[in-house]
Amino acid sequence: MPATVNPRLSLLLNKVPEVTAIFWVIKILSTTVGETGADYLAVHVGLGASATTVIMVGFLVAALALQLRARSYVPWIYWLTVVLVSVVGTQITDLFILATEALGLGFQLGVVAFGALIALIALAYNLGANPVLTFWLGYVLTRPLGASLGDLLSQSRTYGGLGLGTIYTSIGFLTVIVALVAWVSFEGERNGKTDPVR
């Protein structure tokens, strides 16, 4: 018997591409473009971090409006939004790090602040907020949350981190990722569930 899919979840899943090898290649490239594109605009073009952020947030809002209006997966809208999410996420991270360094607040604040914002978005979703909008808002904020958490764990104690280093932090996170993917895969097979979207 097929699992019943929540209609709100169906709306969200109807707007995303099939997850294939090509999906992951584009996703990785999009993340890289977000990182390098934000740096290029802020530094080489000379817009600065603040102006780059404002301009890119404007583009992201426009792309999100298109994504919210779409009734199904439209490749160019989806991937434009992903690239802009990467650019804006990078800018938010950079601005937040600059602000916390200037104020001497450390990396803990970023983890707490972005974690709290994501928790609020999850609460809004559970209270009936638009599933597509809450997905994309959460998606944007996972970038600065991940960067803040990575900095907190990997940076030396001199700079406000825990001093684990990038190697141990990366190995630890990869181990957790592999364990969670294995667990989700095992649970899905054990319960006889398949992907309800495809």
Quick: pLDDT tens for 9-20. Answer: 555 557 778 767
Count CB-CB contacts under 10 A for residue 178.
Answer: 10
- The tokens of 115 are what? 């974690």
Q: What is the largest CA-CA distance in the chain?
A: 58
pTM above 0.85, yes or no: no
Which residues of the chain register pLDDT less than 50? Answer: 1-3, 194-198
DSSP one-letter code for 161: S
pLDDT tens-digit profile of 157-195? 887 789 888 888 888 888 888 888 788 777 766 766 544
Give me the residue spans of the domains in the chain: 7-190
**pLDDT number for residue 180:** 81
**pLDDT number for residue 5:** 52
Helices (H), 19-164: 21-39, 48-69, 75-103, 108-126, 131-154
**pLDDT number for residue 103:** 75
Tokens 């605009």 -> residue: 41
- Whole-angstrom distance between the N-terminal and C-terminal Cα of the chain? 15
Give ∠ CA 55-57-59 in degrees, rounded to 5: 75
DSSP one-letter code for 134: H
**pLDDT number for residue 119:** 93
Q: At what angle do helices 75-103 and 131-154 cross, to 10 degrees?
A: 40
Question: What one-character-per-residue DSSP string does 64-94 give?
Answer: HHHHHH-SS--HHHHHHHHHHHHHHHHHHHH
**pLDDT number for residue 101:** 72
